[in-house]
Structure 1
Amino acid sequence: MLLLGIDIGTSSVKVSVVDAETQKSISAAQYPDVESPIKSLHPGWAEQPPEMWWEQAQKAIALCHQKGNYHPADIAAIGIGYQMHGLVLVDKDQQVLRDSIIWCDSRAVEIGNKAFDAIGHEKSLSHLLNSPGNFTASKLAWVKANEPAVYEKIDKIMLPGDFIAMKLTGEITTSVSALSEGVFYDFVNNTLSKDVLDYFGFSKDLFPEIKPVFAEHGKVSAVVAEKLQLKPGIPVTFKAGDQPNNALSLNVLQPGEVAATAGTSGVIYGVSDELTYDPQSRVNSFAHVNYTEEQKRIGVLLCINGTGSLNRWAKNLFGASHSYVEMNDMAKSVKPGADGLRVLPFGNGAERMLNNKLVGVHFQHIDLNLHTHAHIFRAVQEGIACAFRYGLDIMRENGMSPSIIRAGKANLFLSDVFAQSFVDVTGVPVELYNNDGSVGAALGAGIGAAVFKTPSEAFRHAKPVQLIEPQGDMEDIYQEWKYLLQRQLEIE
């Protein structure tokens, strides 16, 4: 039996076809080869058209089929992972009303801050586990206040993965995990948050039917099935945001287990069995994929907005003639510490772990007679690693102290410089796995379709391909980096 996983990223869409028996990917494809554009009509804004994701998903599936490693008719279930927090609005005919306001858009920060004050800090944190901040609820409130003609036409609101499932099946559903990542869910009363809906004036009718993450979210329509060479009636049996889905792909499901990613954004994601929250809402808590009212599983998420995006920016400006592999080799030629060059990697919107401040990217201590492109490449990756340490220390304040972190061998973790810097500066070993978000979505589909009797059965063959342990001492480098950040925050 085959399972199809679709991962809707900010930069591209990746799909994998996984053999349920071996849990291995037998074919994978990505579209496009270059990074997808983000519209920024004003500073701090970030939008993408949902129809672009659907077009990319179809092309990625077609590319996967073209490899000839399987028969498309053998695919039995579909799972979807997706970029978190994006707001998608459709009318009663399921037509998109405006471009999606995506995760790194900062326009709704003040709206969320006012809601936090009005609802009350203690009540927001204890019931929502977060400040409304810059999440989906606040973005919807921005549309209501600034685009009333659009708001009046809304039939349903959804997240990016809900939209792709709708295009596949014609049905619109959501889950507790999805509602919690939008900060619409009350964990104490186990329902849509009356406080959020009343404060913003949202109708319950705007929200789709709530289903478990691992459940049928509709069946592929005959028209779509013919276009994608699939059997009509294949169920979509899993939908989750990219970080819960990435954690799933690494078998991070139980309390104390921790995953990390370093793609467009950087994330550390740990699982707790308590309704935990950060008093300053610098890290965020959402229902994990296996959350139930009876068995609490909360994903504690630290996000750094600009990790891979900063590495890409550095490549475009300083290494356009080099591949990422060549960039990483150049970075290796420079000793740890990059001869004093330091980088603050915060140039992709308001950073939640910095109390929603727009800090920007800063290069410090540039020596025109010493520093080369190789120094820049190393300093960028070390700066990103230091940002992870800063965030991990916040998680430690909130009771999350991992003894090991699991990550996919992808994106920045393909760089020996970054991976070793991450381990040396955090002091935590990292296990690398070959699984990625699209494989995780496929395995999630298998869990939702009861191909696997338990979630753990979906990972019975999972083994790390590499263990990275601390080798050097970056504490002095980190403390200097932290001092530079604190000085910049004072300016802000």
Structure 2
Amino acid sequence: MKYVIGVDLGTSAVKTVLVDPQGKVAFEHSEAYPLSRPKPNWSEQNPEDWVQGTLTSLRRLIEISGIEPSQVDGLSFSGQMHGLVLVDAQGQVLRPAILWNDTRTTAQCRKIEQTLGTKLIEIARNRALEGFTLPKILWVQENEPEIFAQAELFLLPKDYVRYRLTGEYGMDYSDAAGTLLLDVGAKVWSPEIAGAFGLPLSICPKLVESFDQTGTLLPEIAGQSGLLVSTKVFAGGADNACGALGAGILGEGRTMCSIGTSGVVLSYESNKELNLEGKVHFFNHGEKDAYYIMGVTLAAGHSLTWFKETFAAEKNFDELLQGIGAIPAGSGGLLFTPYISGERTPHPDANIRGSFIGMDSGHTLDHFTRSVLEGITFSLRESIEIVRDSGKEITEIVAIGGGAKNETWLQMQADIFGASIVRLASEQGPAMGAAMLAAYGSGWFASLGECAEAFIHSADVYRPDPEQVELYNGLFSLYQEVYGQTRELNDKLAAYRK
């Protein structure tokens, strides 16, 4: 039996999965690593922790599976997006990596907007947000010039790990699209953007396709991982691109909704000329010459976690959600907005904060819990409506992540989105997408679409109830008013946050 390995380099842990030619996950293993917040709004990690975590996870995967290393055809990566790793001419890391959820770069974002104007959207197809890589590069350039002077190359997290495993530099298009330095349509680094900030194009790594082979394992790495030197290593992709692959989002109109800590609505796109003026993200897909539209709710699952830990810490999630089916749609006139960490789509606003509106003495914990789920889902619908406004018909959505684990929530998504919701038989998210890239790169399939047909199967379909759809359409209109009604209040309250 042959296998491939998918490596998902997340923010809190690295996950490895061993996958057979039928798409079955034979074994999996995770290794956690720490996150550092040395100052307010900062979020950093030591890239060496990623490397050691990956090697340990690979070794344990081989050990617990009991397979021969020769049975592994190849491995590929999914990685947390946007994180900045600067290396010198010898490949040594110059400072801790600045992560996607680091928000110190507001001033640099405004500088990018002022310098490039409309050119930013025309070339990079995305707005300047604190999470992206270019603002982080400019922050180091301005605040740590002695470090920046030593920088030979910038890499993203998975690309640094892959470099350490193979000795080869490279970055795939799906991850490069999240840097703000890529001409997304032309698939080249933008000399206009780089030149506007005095950055040499030589600081950008070679661009490759997600399924391209980018080397084999270095001898010392093979020894530490339990794999062979001949094991093929493929470029991999951004976590959201790999999540899309793992959900079978390979074709026009295919859409997924992923609810984890954050929430993502992602839809396949083939038109490279599409310009949505930065209302949603527009990135290169893991499939060649394909793209995806993506909207983000910053605090999706995080809103539910916050609510449970604050108001029902003694309950587990199953217990917390047990009674929501008995609460009617609309939660008895209680409306929640999930802006507890600011918001991304369609309101890129760091100051906005969440709210419960319509509370009365008759509301119970179950009302509040259902209201939280409805608010998260309303926020995600705002991204779906932007995609629909671009001309796409969305009648079916694949649900993955925590939002796919509760049947009442799945039906709620169908009713709020006005689309059938598909739950997968086996969901491994970005790790499966990484494994698919390795399988396709290794020649197991003629296309990623053929790979998806073999690997991905649906388990259940939740169809919208027309009466509930009509009710939720009215509530959604009210939800959309809350941001405008509370924005000024939240701007004023920002002065009181300590």
Q: Does 1:299 align with 2:330?
A: no
Q: Does 1:373 align with 2:373?
A: no
User: Per-residue deviation at 1:62?
Assistant: 4.1
Q: Does 1:417 align with 2:415?
A: no
Give me the whole-angstrom Cα distance separating, in 1, the residues matched to 2:31 and 2:135: 31
Give me the whole-angstrom Cα distance separating, in 1, the residues matched to 2:451 and 2:247: 11
Structure 1 residues 339 and 80: alpha-carbon distance in aligned structure 2, compared to 1, 3 A threshold: same
How many residue pairs match? The answer is 481
Contact 2:185 2:273 in 1 (8 A): no
Instruction: Describe the SS at the equivalent of 1:274.
Output: coil
1:456 to 449, 454, 459: 449
Map of 1:214 onto structure 2: 211
Q: Which amino acid aligns with 1:440?
A: G
1:273-310 deviation per Cα after TM superposition (whole angstroms, max 9, x unaligned): 21355554120111111233xxxx22111111111222
1:132 to 128, 131, 148: 128
Give me the whole-angstrom Cα distance separating, in 2, the residues matched to 1:341 and 1:48: 39
1:271 to 268, 272, 293: 268
Q: Which amino acid aligns with 1:411?
A: G
User: Per-residue deviation at 1:188?
Assistant: 5.4
Q: Which amino acid aligns with 1:184?
A: L
Q: How does 1:87-486 map to 2 (within 5 A)?
A: 87-121=84-118, 123-134=119-130, 135-187=132-184, 189-277=186-274, 279-292=276-289, 297-349=290-342, 351-367=344-360, 369-408=361-400, 410-433=401-424, 434-435=426-427, 436-461=429-454, 462-471=456-465, 472-473=468-469, 474-486=472-484
Contact 2:6 2:75 in 1 (8 A): yes
Unmatched runs of 5 consecutive residues or more in structure 2: 492-498
Give me the whole-angstrom Cα distance separating, in 2, the residues matched to 1:219 and 1:200: 35
Instruction: Describe the SS at the equivalent of 1:465.
Output: strand
Map of 1:8 onto structure 2: 9
Q: Which amino acid aligns with 2:387?
A: M
Instruction: Describe the SS at the equivalent of 1:346.
Output: coil
Give me the whole-angstrom Cα distance separating, in 2, the residues matched to 1:316 and 1:207: 42
Contact 1:347 1:358 in 2 (8 A): no
Structure 1 residues 332 and 10: alpha-carbon distance in aligned structure 2, compared to 1, 3 A threshold: farther
1:52 to 30, 49, 53: 49
User: Per-residue deviation at 1:42?
Assistant: 4.5
Q: Which amino acid aligns with 1:61?
A: L
User: Per-residue deviation at 1:242?
Assistant: 0.9
User: Per-residue deviation at 1:107?
Assistant: 2.6
Structure 1 residues 317 and 454: alpha-carbon distance in aligned structure 2, compared to 1, 3 A threshold: same
Give me the whole-angstrom Cα distance separating, in 1, the residues matched to 2:60 and 2:324: 34
TM-score, normalised relative to structure 2? 0.90
Instruction: Describe the SS at the equivalent of 1:4.
Output: strand
Structure 1 residues 69 and 425: alpha-carbon distance in aligned structure 2, compared to 1, 3 A threshold: farther
Unmatched runs of 5 consecutive residues or more in structure 1: none
Give me the whole-angstrom Cα distance separating, in 1, the residues matched to 2:38 and 2:343: 16
User: Per-residue deviation at 1:351?
Assistant: 1.7
Instruction: Describe the SS at the equivalent of 1:458.
Output: helix
Superposed CA RMSD in Å reads 2.3
Give me the whole-angstrom Cα distance separating, in 1, the residues matched to 2:316 and 2:68: 34
Give me the whole-angstrom Cα distance separating, in 1, the residues matched to 2:236 and 2:302: 25
User: Per-residue deviation at 1:99?
Assistant: 2.5
Give me the whole-angstrom Cα distance separating, in 2, the residues matched to 1:207 and 1:286: 18
Instruction: Describe the SS at the equivalent of 1:247.
Output: helix
1:316-371 deviation per Cα after TM superposition (whole angstroms, max 9, x unaligned): 2233332222222243343332233322112335525213443133233333x334
Instruction: Describe the SS at the equivalent of 1:393.
Output: helix
Percentage of matched positions with identical amino acids: 25
Give me the whole-angstrom Cα distance separating, in 2, the residues matched to 1:55 and 1:325: 34
Contact 1:263 1:308 in 2 (8 A): yes
TM-score, normalised relative to structure 1? 0.91
Map of 1:489 onto structure 2: 487
User: Per-residue deviation at 1:23?
Assistant: 1.8
Structure 1 residues 69 and 317: alpha-carbon distance in aligned structure 2, compared to 1, 3 A threshold: farther
Runs of 4+ in structure 1 off by over 6 angstroms are none
Q: Which amino acid aligns with 1:28?
A: E
1:102-134 deviation per Cα after TM superposition (whole angstroms, max 9, x unaligned): 22323323422332332231x322222223333
